[in-house]
Amino acid sequence: MPSPEERAELAAEQAYVDTVYERLDVSADTARALVTEGMARGHIGHEGGLVERDAMVYQATRRLSALNAAHEGLVFGRLDLRDGEKRYIGRIGVRDEDREVLLIDWRAPAASLFYRATAQEPSGVVRRRVLRSRGDRVVGIEDDLLDADHAPDDMVVAGEGALLASLSRARDDAMHSVVATIQKEQDEAIRAPSRGATIIAGGPGTGKTVVALHRAAYLLYTDRRRFERGGVLVVGPSAVFMNYIERVLPSLGETAVTLRAIGEVVDGIRADEHDVPEAAAVKGSARMATVLRRLSRSPVADAPREFTGFYRDARLHLAGADLKRLRRRLLQQGPHNRVYRQAPGVVLQALWSQVTAERALEKGEDAFIDAMLGDARFIDFVESWWPEVDAVELWRSLPDRLGELAGDLLSGEEIATLRATWSTGAPRIEDVPLIDELRHLVGEVPPEIDLDAGAPRQLMSFERREREAAEERLRATSSIEDDSFAHILVDEAQDLSPMQWRMLGRRGRLASWTIVGDDAQASWPLPEEASQARAEALGDKPVHRFRLSTNYRNSAEIYELGARVARRTIERPDLAEAVRRTGVDPRHERVQSGQLDGRARELLDWLLAETAGTVAVVVPHAALRRWRDALGDVSPERVRLLTGLDTKGLEFDGVLVVEPDAFVAESPAGWRTLYVVLTRATQRLATLGTTDRWLQEV
């Protein structure tokens, strides 16, 4: 029950917050009126009117959606300064009718004190207050008195600290913004300058993901023109993870950010299933770049090996060696599809140089070219020798071509492993970078022919016929000119394979980067190869490093077990300090295999009873289907069934890990996956297995 003083404080804060909401409503009304007015301008009818209308409606609609998104918990902070000034901090900035500041945007320099001031260094702040709200009602106040010496006698200090209150909340399916309780070291990483690459490291639960998302919102605020125009791309490990984080940015007033799971980075391709670890290790390896390069430069499947044709009294012939030479010449000028329009010209030139017969020579080169372009035999030959190639089709040809292309780079066993993964035909997450690499290697057919830039006049009729067909195909494959993001933010970066770094690097040549990750949680088995690929993706951009040191997620009891596992797998893991104790240790049980299902259900019931939020049952990859059947009917609102890799970046109030030894055995990075899984739990953790070797080893 709040004390009478606290009730009075709550009422005073509510009065202020009401004033801010009234202004917000006025702004929303203005934006709505602008949308209506903008629409009306369309009726003016001339082109300028339409352009003006579009711009106006676009801006006003965006403003309206930002205002709506920021509505929940709009005002969350207040600073009382030594000189008596009061500052209110909120999700967006709001001014009154005289343009006086009512609410400071959390990203503005004037708000940074809210996050940076400490009792050791109050920097003029006497009291920091966090307002907890439900909708537009203030329901609680949490104060930190930072400078008792300068506090007026009647200053009320309420609550038990905003951070602990927020950490104890039950978890649901969505990550929430932590804008009211960002800690000092986190704030430094959020507000780091945008240049180059900002690398944020830290153990599990240290807030790397939330920090990265708040940083995206901060960058948009500081240089909206650059980041909105160029685009901000946020990449995370899985679609489940992207759903989990998707509400954070809108709640900070930002809707202009592209969120993609690593299997969805390439436009038009969506993969959400991982390969088995052995296949993933080969597909992700930088060796694949060489294999794909060879594929992109070798003749297409079923390409004719020679050409024979006739023109008047001349017999024309291109043998295999001639075609090889022409192929080399074309590829010197650019990727396969980029030189697609040059191919007929190059072949015609080679054929014309063979013409020595008198009758054939007599009409000249133009007549020769016209005749050849009307010759179905020649057209068929060029179309099958140098067709436009589609990267996905090329990728599909890999199972047949791998032996010939990769004999010296991949072992027979590796080739067999890859072939087995491709039997289903659908790309896996690890295939997406391969397809993307191929798209860049073969390039895109230039959509327009530049007739002034030396295209042979004689080829026009050929070009015209081909152009229509090519444009039709182009519509189907989306553009690959997608390397223009202004900022790329990579979460769980420790898991990226070299091929995935190459895929992101192509999209971030001109971008600044934020990269967050924790090496101890890596599922990629060859860290050196990945860090080299990362260095290549970043080029010579300056790197700024930050480290987060406090674990806000796990109870200390749970994290202590996690840390033992981390130490078992890497020499000096980056361990964080967990700030919260529950007094409940993790439970470990070993049972006979016949009892596994029954005991799993009992432990799950225990987790559900002990916690209020979501609970995960984490099972080995190979056993997922079986457990889906076994647990089919358990509480769908609160229980999630996942494999180890699927849990990356997520958190749950309770976690049940089934057969931990199987995680360890499943891949070379098995111990690290187990570390990830154990550190997903905020309140309760149970492990259950028919063996418990892992426990003896930590």
Ligand X SMILES: Nc1ncnc2c1ncn2[C@@H]1O[C@H](COP(=O)(O)OP(=O)(O)OP(=O)(O)O)[C@@H](O)[C@H]1O
Quick check: 183 binds ligand X (CB under 6 A)? yes
Q: Is 205 annotated as a binding residue?
A: yes
Quote the tokens at residue 439.
């798209």
Q: What is Dmax (Cα atoms) for the chain?
A: 112
Quick check: 186 binds ligand X (CB under 6 A)? yes
115 or 385: CB nearest ligand X: 115
Q: How far is the CB of 651 from ligand X (least distance, A)?
A: 6
Quick check: 77 binds ligand X (CB under 6 A)? no
CA dist list (Å): 132 to 13, 251, 603, 683: 11, 15, 34, 22
343 or 645: CB nearest ligand X: 645
The angle that helices 320-333 and 343-352 make with each other, rounded to 10 degrees, is 130
Q: How far is the CB of 531 from ligand X (least distance, A)?
A: 18
Contact pick of 77, 202, 335, 443 for ligand X (by CB under 6 A): 202
Alpha-carbon distance of 134 to 232, in angstroms, equals 30
Contact 451, 178 (CB under 8 A): no
Residues numbered 631-650 forming contacts with ligand X, rule: CB under 6 A: 649
184 or 224: CB nearest ligand X: 184
DSSP-derived pairing of the beta strands 587-590 and 681-689: parallel
Q: How far is the CB of 211 from ligand X (least distance, A)?
A: 7
Quote the tokens at residue 373.
């372009």
Contact 232, 489 (CB under 8 A): yes
The type of residue at 67 is L
Q: Quick count: other Cβ atoms within 10 Å of Cβ 193?
A: 11
Quick check: 166 binds ligand X (CB under 6 A)? yes
342 or 647: CB nearest ligand X: 647
Closest CB to ligand X belongs to which residue?
Answer: 207
Contact 80, 125 (CB under 8 A): yes
The percent helix, strand, coil of the chain (3-state, each to 5) is 50, 15, 35
Q: Is 203 annotated as a binding residue?
A: yes
Contact pick of 10, 182, 318, 619 for ligand X (by CB under 6 A): 182
Quote the tokens at residue 431.
């295939």
Q: How far is the CB of 240 from ligand X (least distance, A)?
A: 13
Q: Is 204 annotated as a binding residue?
A: yes
Quick check: 206 binds ligand X (CB under 6 A)? yes
Quick check: 118 binds ligand X (CB under 6 A)? no
Residues numbered 526-585 forming contacts with ligand X, rule: CB under 6 A: 552-553
Contact pick of 77, 90, 205, 284 for ligand X (by CB under 6 A): 205
Residues numbered 250-279 forming contacts with ligand X, rule: CB under 6 A: none
Alpha-carbon distance of 75 to 91, in angstroms, equals 7
The type of residue at 450 is D
**Token pair 């207050």 is at which residue?**
129
Alpha-carbon distance of 238 to 236, in angstroms, equals 6
Q: How far is the CB of 91 from ligand X (least distance, A)?
A: 15
Q: How far is the CB of 223 from ligand X (least distance, A)?
A: 24
Q: How far is the CB of 217 from ligand X (least distance, A)?
A: 14
146 or 630: CB nearest ligand X: 146
Quick check: 216 binds ligand X (CB under 6 A)? no
Quick check: 518 binds ligand X (CB under 6 A)? yes
Alpha-carbon distance of 516 to 491, in angstroms, equals 5
- The stretch among 145-153, 160-168, 522-530, 599-607 that binds ligand X (CB under 6 A) is 160-168
107 or 553: CB nearest ligand X: 553
**Which one, of 79, 231, 236, lies nearest residue 646 by Cα?**
236
Quick check: 341 binds ligand X (CB under 6 A)? no
**Which residues have C-beta within 8 Å of that of residue 207, sequence separation ≥ 6?**
178, 183, 186, 548, 550, 552
Q: Is 209 annotated as a binding residue?
A: yes
Quick check: 438 binds ligand X (CB under 6 A)? no
182 or 323: CB nearest ligand X: 182
Q: Is 648 annotated as a binding residue?
A: no
Rg (CA), the chain: 31
Q: How far is the CB of 389 from ligand X (least distance, A)?
A: 40
Quick check: 209 binds ligand X (CB under 6 A)? yes
Contact pick of 254, 414, 444, 651 for ligand X (by CB under 6 A): 651
**Which one, of 142, 133, 62, 112, lies nearest residue 214 by Cα?**
112
101 or 556: CB nearest ligand X: 556
Alpha-carbon distance of 603 to 126, in angstroms, equals 48
Torsion of CA 349, 350, 356, 361, to 10 degrees: -20
130 or 295: CB nearest ligand X: 130
Alpha-carbon distance of 224 to 209, in angstroms, equals 21
344 or 670: CB nearest ligand X: 670
Q: How far is the CB of 79 from ligand X (least distance, A)?
A: 17
**Which residues have C-beta within 8 Å of that of residue 34, sequence separation ≥ 6?**
56, 57, 59, 60
Q: Binding site membership: which residues?
A: 202-209
Q: Binding site membership for ATP: which residues?
A: 202-209
| Chain contacts with ligand X (rule: CB under 6 A) | 163, 166-167, 178, 181-183, 186, 202, 204-210, 518, 521, 552-553, 649, 651, 679
